[in-house]
Structure 1
Amino acid sequence: MAISGHWLDDLNPSQVEAVTHGDGPLLIVAGAGTGKTRTLAYRVAHLISQGIAPDRILLLTFTRRAAEEMLRRAAMAISQETVSTRVWGGTFHAAANRLLRMYGKPARLPADFTIMDRADSEDFLNVVRNDLGLARTDKRFPRKSTCLDIYSRRVNSDDELDAVLKRYFPWCEIWLDELKTLFRQYVERKQQRYVLDYDDLLLYWHHMLQENSLAALMSERFDHILVDEYQDTNRIQARILEGMRCGNKNLTVVGDDAQSIYSFRSATVKNMMDFPSQFPGTKIVTLEHNYRSVQPVLETTNRIISQARERYSKKLWSDRKEGQRPQVITCVDESHQDEEVIRRVLEHYEQGIQLKKQAVLFRASSNSASLELALIRRNIPFRKYGGLRFLETAHIKDLVSILRILENPRDEMAWFRVLQLLSGVGPAIAASAFRHLQDNDFDPRSIASFPAPSSARVGLAGLAELIRDLSTAENSPPAAQLDRISKFYLPLLEKNYDDPHPRKNDIEHLGELAARYPSRRQFLAELVLEPPVSTGDFAGPPVLDEDWLVLSTIHSAKGLEWHAVYLIHAADGCLPSDLATADDDEIEEELRLTYVAMTRARDFLYVLWPLRFYTRSLADTHVYAQLCRFFTPEVLATMDRIAHDEAERGGDQFIPDMADHGIMDKIRDMWD
């Protein structure tokens, strides 16, 4: 095939082979650090340069930012600025949202349906659970969060409910019939209110594709579909792709089977392994040239992943042949491990590696507790990835619920949240008010005629005035609507929350975010589909002297890289987690998790494990550990082993034989 642009000179031969592939299914097996983002972006550019209209390309990624970055690169390669706005780029759920609003009428979905986030879905499910009396059973019924986990696993894995319970929730098997009733009522209540949860977006898309006429209509819309991080897709996503390619087989997927670590979200590596059989005639291109790590790091990580039972064979290599061999460091206990990490962090800092270019990784969030205290004592700044997301904070959910009421007046959970912010309104009055709305065809303005008790009349009058004002400004920008809502809400914020001042800043940030969107509907959808993690998402570039050490779980670190990486608690029981060794598949995923952590390192890799560490799993106690089972003799042969004298002795200080000094006698004699 003819080269379609000088920009292809930036690619290596394997990348060119992938980018310039013609029609038909293509599987790109992209090892860690091998430039998959560039490859996928340039494939988009190549397709457009070959005459494919940008709006007939669908690019599916796992974050909106990833799609934006790929499309930005594609636009730069072919000097077409409109690429980023014309290509359909985004997450599976964002694409589902757009398609369901366009083609949802045969599924009886109105275009103004609203989407619940996880917290709202849990609350909605809990309302149904209480209405069915399942919270008042003799034996403890599963909590709302567990119920939603079960529902989500059933939907995304496409396994039958009894099979899901048997494998993942065996303590809930006795509730099989009750859970079926609960989930049926939950689905019926959502359908009556025209609300969808996160899982429904894919579920409706999948079922619509089972109808030949709808499948043909949606499939015909796109000449090419490209998918990033295919190893992290679940069964229903694989079936969606199959349905979307009933007209042609132009499907490109990129992934690394060695980095499939999200089975707890129902992702399955089998999608990638089975792709050639699902799409006969698949061309497979393997990317092995690593642009991230020095060769000594790759020697170790190649041997780690070679232990996998089922995988696409690849051996990563780098042009950066020289470098420090990875180190495995045996520590006496957690305090010793903390000291070793901090000493090396500061040494690299003095060598010119900023703190933010160094990361400490761990299997579970609790693994960093001791280190965090040590960093605080040493006055070393750090940021830990995880915690409460911006949209999950109570005050932001309050404001968003008011917008949801205006967008979809049937949104029961939004009404319940807003009404109970008002003085004198509890669950019973909120339920009566919602029935009043139901009797008035869900006209939100009818809240003004609700016969409220005297204690609630002032608050309800204010809410009714707000809804009347916003109903007359239906098409005003979402930022303007939020500004009016804020005037109503700020007195409630002062009344309902102890710390209103930082929350007011969050409300201002929400207004800044709303200003980026032309419509309330798009703003609400994007908030759920791509929520900001924190107010840091709104911040500008950091100041020059702003620096911090990165602390992160391995799952949160995927896709990132640092000059120096410290993998701590690399001991059996922590890695692999003792909660994830029930079968070979779970152990295999823990192996891949270890591989993901180690392949984040560019120049320096340290693996640390304490001989003794503190646990509170069953009781407050210390346990003795063994090095993670994945560090076999073959792996260790590629690493430098460091064990201090005390660690080599197992942490027990040597005490020579000494004469009896009569200590016991002296203590007894105190009481004579």
Structure 2
Amino acid sequence: MSASFKGLNEPQQEAVEYDGGPILIAAGAGSGKTKTLTSRLARLIEKGVAPSKIVAITFTNKAANEMRERVAKQLATSGATPFLGTFHSFCARILKDEARLAGRTPNFSIYDADDSLSLIKKIMKAADISKDVISPAVLQNKISQIKSEMLSPEDFDKITKKIYEKYEAALADSNAFDFDDLITKVVQIFDGHPEVLKKYHEKYSHILVDEYQDINSSQYKLIRFLAEQQKNLSVVGDDQQAIYSFRGADFRNFLNFKNDWPEAKIVKLEQNYRSSGTIIDAASAVVQNNKLQTPKKLWTENAAGEKIKIIRAASREEEAMLIASQIKQIREGNVAVLYRTNAQSRAIEQSLLSANVPYRIFGGIKFYERKEVKDLLAGLRLAYNPADAVSEERIGKTFDRKTAAYLIQELPRLGEKLNQLELINFFMENANYVDYLQKEYKNFSERLENINELISFASQFKTLGEFLEKVSLLQSADAPSQSLVVSRKSLVHLRDTGTPIRLRRFSHRKIQAPR
């Protein structure tokens, strides 16, 4: 038996072995979908498909890493490897080669949501449009909708259309893409340049997509373009787990797969390996009421398990008190309390404090959205891409006029002379950044720890460009769920991944810039 079939049930084996064109793997919760998709990828290579001809796309970096590890275990191969990554990382790779067709150079910057919002605010101010008329955040969402859903700005109000046009021009002037552009611009290039699309048809023969139920319009069109010639398309997902409609995902793309690809094979994975029988029965009873779905009958060989308990409390305070009381009765292990909105944590936190139960909230400010991290990255981006207006503006707003002018003058000049670690050192010294943090913030030590972490991560890359691209792509859809984790013992164990680079106490003396 092939190593790709090891540990697979019959429907999984059928999905792995199928060799007749498009295939949709409708995988119920806990049915081993990642294992099946990974095994299918490994099986393609066993059959002689060149690894470099395969693209496997996931929604998060974590999922990509997991798939990469599984493929490595199944195949002891060396040399060329399949592409395994997110939509954004895949498209960023294409744009590196095709940037000029989108009006950019290959050393473009990638603006995150914060950079994008800053640019929109700047454009609104220049256009004399008050925040009272429309908020920058609302405009940002509309611009994202235009791009991710491939809509025309003509279909929106006059203000949105005006700001969108100026925003696009400003991005081009800054030699930058925002996150939505990474996919949308590639789709536009494929649509407008058949010869470029032909090149990628020849380069990639097999396309695999995870979590297909969560793709939006631009991602859908990208997949259609890539797979339209050879039709070797494998997608896996579950319409019953579609959760990203708020950012433009349309689970109907999953339901319409057979209409898009009439010759497609559909395989259902219905055996659940994760949950108890009681959980499966309860979930199935709820889901069966969905009007639009790919029907599946989930089952499991696991025990029935405990019954589900539903408690109706008279108030949020009473509910929180009951939660805290039950947690105190648990003697070992960790407990997770999930809530729908952040506002609901207030009563729960208060009850846990009253009950003397330690807890930690997950879902706060992400690492790359922290001020000190964004300041350093602005300096590095300006060094790498001197046309980056948003990064230049951030430096100008953060520091006094003399310091900002010096950094803005020297960083672009030093970008080709110094590596990322040397550039960080230059930035820290000449901005007197340690003194700046100590003067401005009470959590000075915590912010220095974040800088140490950034330096440690930056040291893993050969070039500044590789580091900045990785940082930008890491910000794609990897945020932890809004949850509250409580523990009677230790809360979180962080494994050391190497010796951190410690920042010394910087003097006030400026380092002389290399000539």
Corresponding position of 1:74: 71
Q: Distance in 2 between matches of 1:142 and 1:91?
A: 33
Do the aligned partners of residues 268 and 361 (structure 1) sit closer, same or farther apart at CA in structure 2, a change above 3 Å counting?
A: same
Deviation at 1:82, TM superposition (A): 6.0
Matched, 1:146 2:138: yes
Deviation at 1:327, TM superposition (A): 1.5
Q: Distance in 1 between matches of 2:374 and 2:429?
A: 16
Corresponding position of 1:559: none
TM-score by length of 1: 0.68
Q: Of residues 188, 199, 202 in structure 1, which corresponds to 2:169?
A: 188
Q: Of residues 351, 373, 377 in structure 1, which corresponds to 2:350?
A: 373
Aligned residues: 484
Corresponding position of 2:484: none
Conserved? CA contact 1:216–1:246, under 8 Å: no
Q: Distance in 1 between matches of 2:108 and 2:139?
A: 23
Conserved? CA contact 2:25–2:236, under 8 Å: yes
1:488 partner amino acid: N
1:525 partner amino acid: E
Q: Distance in 1 between matches of 2:5 and 2:79?
A: 20
Deviation at 1:498, TM superposition (A): 4.5
Q: Secondary structure at the match of 1:52?
A: coil
Q: Distance in 2 between matches of 1:459 and 1:239?
A: 43
Moved more, 213-222 or 335-344: 335-344
Deviation at 1:78, TM superposition (A): 2.3
The CA deviation string for residues 175-233 of structure 1, in whole angstroms up to 9 with x for no partner, is x1122111111111211221110111111111011121111112221111111111111
Q: Of residues 75, 82, 85 in structure 2, which corresponds to 1:87?
A: 82
Matched, 1:204 2:196: no
Q: Secondary structure at the match of 2:427?
A: helix
Do the aligned partners of residues 236 and 375 (structure 1) sit closer, same or farther apart at CA in structure 2, a change above 3 Å counting?
A: same
Report the structure number with the largest CA radius of gyration.
1
2:424 partner amino acid: L
1:415 partner amino acid: E
Deviation at 1:89, TM superposition (A): 1.1
Deviation at 1:496, TM superposition (A): 4.4
Conserved? CA contact 2:91–2:183, under 8 Å: yes
Deviation at 1:466, TM superposition (A): 5.5
Corresponding position of 1:611: none
Q: Of residues 254, 264, 267 in structure 2, which corresponds to 1:282?
A: 264
Do the aligned partners of residues 14 and 397 (structure 1) sit closer, same or farther apart at CA in structure 2, a change above 3 Å counting?
A: same
Corresponding position of 1:483: 425
Q: Of residues 121, 126, 146 in structure 2, which corresponds to 1:126?
A: 121
Corresponding position of 1:590: none
Do the aligned partners of residues 534 and 299 (structure 1) sit closer, same or farther apart at CA in structure 2, a change above 3 Å counting?
A: closer
Corresponding position of 1:345: 327
Moved more, 18-27 or 109-118: 18-27
Do the aligned partners of residues 518 and 33 (structure 1) sit closer, same or farther apart at CA in structure 2, a change above 3 Å counting?
A: same
Q: Distance in 1 between matches of 2:452 and 2:479?
A: 10
Deviation at 1:330, TM superposition (A): 1.6
Deviation at 1:374, TM superposition (A): 1.0
Do the aligned partners of residues 380 and 548 (structure 1) sit closer, same or farther apart at CA in structure 2, a change above 3 Å counting?
A: farther
Q: Of residues 404, 408, 414 in structure 1, which corresponds to 2:381?
A: 404
Q: Distance in 1 between matches of 2:83 and 2:387?
A: 30
Identity %: 28
Q: Secondary structure at the match of 1:366?
A: helix
Do the aligned partners of residues 361 and 89 (structure 1) sit closer, same or farther apart at CA in structure 2, a change above 3 Å counting?
A: same
2:460 partner amino acid: R
Q: Secondary structure at the match of 1:209?
A: helix
User: What RMSD, in angstroms, separates the aligned Cα atoms of the two structures?
Assistant: 2.5
2:355 partner amino acid: R
Corresponding position of 2:338: 361
Conserved? CA contact 1:153–1:266, under 8 Å: yes
Within-5 A mapping of 1:550-589 = none
Do the aligned partners of residues 398 and 303 (structure 1) sit closer, same or farther apart at CA in structure 2, a change above 3 Å counting?
A: same
Deviation at 1:507, TM superposition (A): 0.5
Q: Of residues 520, 525, 544 in structure 1, which corresponds to 2:464?
A: 520
Q: Of residues 252, 261, 266 in structure 1, which corresponds to 2:248?
A: 266
Q: Of residues 159, 165, 178 in structure 1, which corresponds to 2:159?
A: 178
1:504 partner amino acid: L
Q: Distance in 2 between matches of 1:98 and 1:293?
A: 39
Conserved? CA contact 2:150–2:184, under 8 Å: no
Conserved? CA contact 2:383–2:413, under 8 Å: no
* Structure 1 portions without partners, runs of 5+: 166-175, 426-455, 537-542, 550-672
Corresponding position of 1:31: 28
Conserved? CA contact 2:378–2:394, under 8 Å: yes
Q: Of residues 216, 225, 235 in structure 2, which corresponds to 1:253?
A: 235
Q: Of residues 34, 45, 55 in structure 1, which corresponds to 2:42?
A: 45
